[in-house]
Amino acid sequence: MSLRGWGDPAQAAPLPESLQRLLRDVLDVDDRRRVPGLRSPVRLAPVRLDRRVALELAGIVGADGVHGDDEARLRHAVGRSTPDLLALRGPKPIAAPDLVLAPDSHDQVMTVLERCSARRVAVVPFGGGTSVVGGVEPDAGAYSGVVALDLARLNALEQLDEESRLATLGPGLRGPEAEWLLADRGYTIGHFPQSFEYATLGGFAATRSSGQASAGYGRFDEQVMALRVATPVGTLELGRAPRSAAGPDLRQLILGSEGAFGVITSLTLAVRPAPATRVYDGWRFPTFADGTRALRVLAQDGPRPTVLRLSDEVETALTLARPGVSGGANGGSAPAGCLAIVGFEGEVDAVGRRRSRVTDVLAAHHAEPVAGAGDSWSEGRYRAPYLRDALLDAGALVETLETACFWSSLHELRAAVTTALRDALINEDPPTPPVILCHVSHVYAAGASLYFTVAAAQSADPIAQWRRAQAAAGAAIAAVGGTITHHHGVGRDHVPWYQREIGELGVTALRSVKRTLDPAGILNPGVLLSAENLHTDLRGSR
């Protein structure tokens, strides 16, 4: 991962002319706003951890598992949200962990947690570092230091139960590594989020990740059959059957807990035979309402494709105007409408039959095929984050947020969030509204998720600029009754909205779990739950 951007630095690319025109003509971004260049080196906050404690922790994981150099600290300091990347481009020191520990076994993780709990050292479980909600930046002011617990060495395919179609894997495996290991045996997990190339299985579980093929394979948490979890006070072994009525499912306390309750050291996942073929089609609907009606029919009544997503008019115009995507008109400008990407995976004959039936449903809702759009989307799926780096350097503010709701509220939610973002980000001098894109990224029988991308001219303080917009969007989501996050997680950024979403009693219940599993509060403090005194309830803290 690039030290100051996304992914492989060799993959970085300059802005295409079409986006340069958008910045100049639509957003009023020109050379006056261009970032003058990335500073080198990035300044890090000083180390706070006592040297004796550092040596004690290093002795647990051995020489191969401890890193205290500045590059290792920086690589584990922040995620990859726009505020993270702006901070890496700014003048202030970065609050990095004091030490990076890379255990190679469950027992080593347990020992590290026990020792850190006794020494009041905060611990940040670390996978791929792809969080976009402040998930790896603890509120560590009350602690004697911070260590990043990098799980990269827990990266084995521990067991493959082909009769049950279950694979037990280490949490430190990145998406491609896990797929390679399973492909050798003819299987796939089928989980391909945009962070796939760098995010890890443990991170997928800890954040309730959703991938592009969720319509066919389900969310990642739905594929988790069993977990082994290390906590400062002991080990949790969860899951021994596909379904159980033996009390509440304690796996659900860990799935989505973002490292605040324990560290996942092993996962057992449902796997499927690797598909013989993958096919992606593009379809254009006259309006967003036409498209969402068709998606709802497919989600509720079938046949359900493996991939199903729908872009609004603005996102469609930008997508279809890109070189290599057929469907443009008037010298390459994209026609009106909303682009849907519909994908199928499986055996060749089964894919053909399902594709034919889906085509009938789409045609009945006034959709027309767009040649090349599906393949173009698939080929460029993992390129968008690189584009964001170039836009930020050019002086644009670019960020995403996502939510979900029931079908009956979908259009109201989209309108409310769009209005909130536009009002928060409009440039007053001269009046220049932001560009706001939206697409449906995941569908269910009862509802769907909405994913927004925003571009505006950077203000003098772009981090504060985005925080204002983020708060406005959060208020709009809450007012309509959507959820503050569908698949990015809570992190630190969404804590106030999440706590309102679950209510005071819900927060109190989670704090009770936290006190039981992590009595000293060392695990990712400030993530998921605010880092106030764990023995003070919400009412008493006000």
Q: Cα–Cα distance between 60 and 426 in angstroms, integer?
A: 53
Six-digit token pair at 24? 């100049």
Single out the residue of 285, 426, 428 nearest to residue 364, CA to CA: 285
Q: How far apart are CA 400 and CA 167, in angstroms?
A: 33
From the list 143, 217, 386, 451, the catalytic residue is 451
Going by C-beta distance under 8 Å and a sequence separation of 6 or more, which residues neighbour residue 114?
232
Alpha-carbon distance 81 to 86, whole Å? 9
Rounded alpha-carbon distances, angstroms, from residue 293 to 303, 361, 415, 471? 14, 10, 17, 30
Q: What percent helix, strand, coil does the chain show, rounded to 5?
A: 40, 20, 40
Buried (b) or exposed (e) across 96-106, using 16+ Cβ within 10 A? bbbbbbbbbeb
Q: Which amino acid is at 365?
A: H
Beta-carbon contacts of 276 under 8 Å, excluding residues fewer than 6 positions away, are: 346, 347, 348
User: 451 catalytic, yes or no?
Assistant: yes
- Report the length, in residues, of the chain: 542
β-bridge mates for residue 140, sequence order: none
The answer to whether 395 touches 34, Cβ cutoff 8 Å, is yes
Q: How far apart are CA 409 and CA 446, in angstroms?
A: 11
Q: 227 vs 151, 253, 265, CA distance in Å?
A: 15, 11, 8
**Helix (H) or strand (E) run with residue 161 in it:** strand 157-161
Please identify every residue annotated as catalytic.
Answer: 451
